[in-house]
Structure 1
Amino acid sequence: MTDLDVSPARTAREVLSWSRGEVDPALRAAVDRLPESMRVIAGYHFGWRDERGGPASADPGKAIRPALALLAAQAVGGSAEGAMPAAVAAELVHNFSLLHDDVMDGDVTRRHRPTAWSVFGINAAILAGDSLLTLALDVLATGGHPAATRAIRELSVAVQELLAGQSADLAFEERADVGLAECVRMAEGKTGALLGASCAVGALFGGGTAEQVEHLRAFGAKLGLAFQFVDDLLGIWGDPAVTGKPVYSDLQNRKKSLPVVAALTSDTPAARELDALYRADRQLTDVDLARAAHLVEVCGARAWSQGRADDLLARARVHLRAARPADRASRELDAVARLATQRTH
C-alpha cells in the first residue's frame, strides 16, 4: 500500500521529528542484535544510555538521512514503512562515520556530551563504529526486499567515497598546499555521497524507476555538499548550544575546511596572516581563534561558502523536480533541504 498525498505537507522540523519517531524503534531493535560490548557503546552514542549502561535520553541527532530515505520512498509512490530498512541502514552508516570521525579529529564533545571514545576509549569506539557499519548492511540483507542487493551496493559505494573523503580530510591537515577544488571533492565524498545514497536506497525500496533513483541520488548528493558548506561554517561560527561543540572548534583543530581553504587560497594579506596562524608551532589562544575567524571572513570565504550552499541547493531542487516525485513528499524533501542548508541563519 502506498502513502497517498491526502494531507498538507509538514514543516521540515515536523518531518524530522516524525522520522526520528518512526526510525528509532527499528534502530533500537537493530542495535539490540549487537554483542553486549558493542550495544553499550552504540547505545551511549545514540543517547539511549549513560556511560554506565543505564537508561538515558540525550540528543540522538537530527535524523536527516533516514528522513531523506523515507521521503524518497514516498516520492516514488512507495511507503515509509516499506523503506524502514533503508532508513535504518542510512542512519547506522552515518553514526559509524561519526564514531570514527570523533576519534580521528580528537573531538571530545558530540551532541552536547562527551564523545564515545573519550568515555570508553579509542579502540572500543572504533570497534563500535565498525559494528554499526556491518549492522547496516545486515539490516538491508535480511529485510527480504527485492531491491536489497542493489541497495547494499549503493551504500557500499557511498561508504568507499566517504572513506576516501575522510582520508583526504586527514591528509589535508599535514599539507600546506591544499587546493580549493580538491577540498570540494573531499566534501563530495565525505558528506555528499551518503546523503545521495540515503535518497537512492529509499527510492529503491519505494519501487522507483532507474531514472527516479538517479535523480534522487543527485538531489541528495548536491544537498550533501551544500550541507557540508554550512556545517563548515558552523564549525567556525556555530553556537555551541546548537552544535554541541565549542566555538571555533574547527579552527582550534586547524582543519582545512571549505571556508578556511577558500580563505587560504584567496591570495590576500588576510590569507597570509591566517596561514601564519595555522602554521604556528603552539596552541592557538582564544584571541588567536577569534582573529582567525575574522580573517576567514575578511577574505570573503564566509560569504562565498554560504553562496555556494545556496547555489547547490538550487541545483539539488532541479534534480528533485526531474524525479517527478509525488507532490507532498516533494514539498517535504524540499523543506528538509532548505532547513539543512540554512542552519547558519
Structure 2
Amino acid sequence: MDNLTNLKAELQTRFSSVLPKQGHELHEIAKFHFKDFGKLIRGSSALAISNAVNLNFEASINWALSVELLHNASLVHDDVCDKDSHRRHHLTVFAEFGSPLAICFGDWLVAKSFEHAVISINKADKKSNDAIILLSSVMADLSKGQAREFIGEPVLDWDSYSNLVNGKTTPLLAAAIEGPFLLAEADDHLDDIRNIIQALGMSYQISNDILDVLGKDGSSMAFNDLMRKAPNAVSITYRNKLKNGHKINFDKWMNNINLDSSINWSKEIKNNGALESCIRKLNHYLQISHHYRSKLPDALQDALLPIVTYLESTSKDMCPTYKKL
C-alpha cells in the first residue's frame, strides 16, 4: 500500500500547484473546497494504470489531474442541483458561497480538466485524440445522467438504476481506467477492462448509497437520498421486497402523490433486510469485477488496487461476514 500512498501524495502535491493562486477570483473557493482532497481514488487509479501500460510520468500525472478536476467539477455541480449543504463532513461550495459562484467554480474545473487532458496527450506524444473524445463523452454523459434525476419518474427499479449509474458514476471511472490505455495506444485487454469498469461503477454507486443510508457518506444526515426522493440502491432493494398495497403506497410517496407522513419509510427500510440484501448486491458486482480482473496480467491487476481495495474495505466494514475475494 506504500506505493498507493505515494501516488496519492504526488497527485495531491501537483493538484495544489494548479489551483487558483492568491488574487484569483476563485482562490478562496478553491481553498475552501480542497481543504480536504478526498480519497483521490480515480486519480490514483489513473496513475497506477498509466505506470502499468508504460505511459511516461508527465502524461500520466496530467491525465490523473484531468480526471480528478472533472470529478470535482461534477461534485460541485451536483451539490448545486441537489441543494446539498454537506459533503465529506464539510459545508459544500454551494452552501458557503451560493449557486452562482459554485457554478463558476465548477465551470473553471471543467476547463482545467480539458487543459490537462491536452497536456497529457502532448506529453504522450500521440496524434490520436481518442482520450479527449473519451473525456468529452464523459462530460456529456455526466450532464445527461444528472438531468435524468430531474425529469420523468423516480428511479424505482434496477434497470433504471443501472442506466443512471452508467450515465453518472461509470463514466468517470472509464476516464480514470480506460484513458491511460488510449494514451498509451495499448488496446490489449480493453474488453475485459470495460467489463471491469461496468462492474466497479455499480459497486461504487451501491457502496455510496449504502453509506448514505448509514449516515456515513459525509452528508448532513442519514437517508439523505430518501428524503430527497433521489435514486438509491437500498431504497430500490427495499421496494423489491414490498407487496401489493405497501409497494403502491411507497411508489405514490416517491412520486409525490401520497405524502402520508404516518409511515416512517426510513424505519421500514432498516427493518425489512434491504440493507443486508444491498450489501450482497455490492459483493455480487465485486465478484464480477474479480472475474474479469483475474484475466489481466499481474501488473494491471495491481494497478486496479486503489479502487478495488477501497470498495472491498468498505464492504467489509458494512458487513462483518464479508470475505475478501
TM-score if structure 1 supplies the norm length?
A: 0.79
Q: Does 1:198 align with 2:176?
A: yes
Deviation at 1:21, TM superposition (A): 0.9
Identity of aligned residues (%): 22
Residue in 1 aligned with 2:323? none
Deviation at 1:244, TM superposition (A): 4.4
Does the aligned pair in 2 maintain the 1:89–1:137 contact within 8 Å?
yes
Q: Does 1:167 align with 2:137?
A: no
Structure 1 gap ranges (5+): 1-9, 48-58
Residue in 2 aligned with 1:31? 19
Alpha-carbon distance in structure 1 between the residues aligned to 2:260 and 2:3: 42
Select 1:252's aligned residue among 179, 204, 227.
227
Select 1:74's aligned residue among 48, 51, 56.
51
Q: Does 1:180 align with 2:154?
A: no
Does the aligned pair in 1 maintain the 2:26–2:105 contact within 8 Å?
yes
Alpha-carbon distance in structure 1 between the residues aligned to 2:29 and 2:4: 24
Q: Does 1:264 align with 2:243?
A: no
Residue in 1 aligned with 2:267? 294
The secondary structure found in structure 2 opposite 1:142 is helix
Residue in 2 aligned with 1:306? 279
What root-mean-square deviation, in Å, do the aligned CA atoms of Structure 1 and Structure 2 show? 3.0
Correspondence list, 1:20-59, <5 A: 20-32=8-20, 36-47=24-35, 59=36
Residue in 2 aligned with 1:338? 312
TM-score if structure 2 supplies the norm length?
A: 0.83
Q: Aligned pair in 2 of structure 1 residues 68, 168: CA closer, same or farther (>3 Å)?
A: same
Q: Aligned pair in 2 of structure 1 residues 171, 198: CA closer, same or farther (>3 Å)?
A: same
Deviation at 1:19, TM superposition (A): 3.2
Does the aligned pair in 2 maintain the 1:102–1:108 contact within 8 Å?
yes
Does the aligned pair in 2 maintain the 1:222–1:316 contact within 8 Å?
yes
How many positions carry a matched residue from both structures?
A: 313
Alpha-carbon distance in structure 2 between the residues aligned to 1:112 and 1:297: 23
User: 1:21-60, CA deviations, whole angstroms, 9 ceiling, x for partnerless residues?
Assistant: 111122122223799223332232111xxxxxxxxxxx22
Alpha-carbon distance in structure 2 between the residues aligned to 1:302 and 1:129: 33
Alpha-carbon distance in structure 2 between the residues aligned to 1:100 and 1:25: 24
Alpha-carbon distance in structure 2 between the residues aligned to 1:237 and 1:188: 24
Alpha-carbon distance in structure 2 between the residues aligned to 1:134 and 1:84: 17
Does the aligned pair in 1 maintain the 2:59–2:119 contact within 8 Å?
no
Select 1:131's aligned residue among 91, 101, 108.
108
Structure 2 gap ranges (5+): 320-325
Residue in 1 aligned with 2:289? 316
Alpha-carbon distance in structure 1 between the residues aligned to 2:259 and 2:100: 28
Does the aligned pair in 1 maintain the 2:142–2:171 contact within 8 Å?
yes
Residue in 2 aligned with 1:53? none
Alpha-carbon distance in structure 2 between the residues aligned to 1:122 and 1:327: 41
- Tell me which amino acid in the other structure corresponds to 1:70: L
Does the aligned pair in 1 maintain the 2:49–2:304 contact within 8 Å?
no
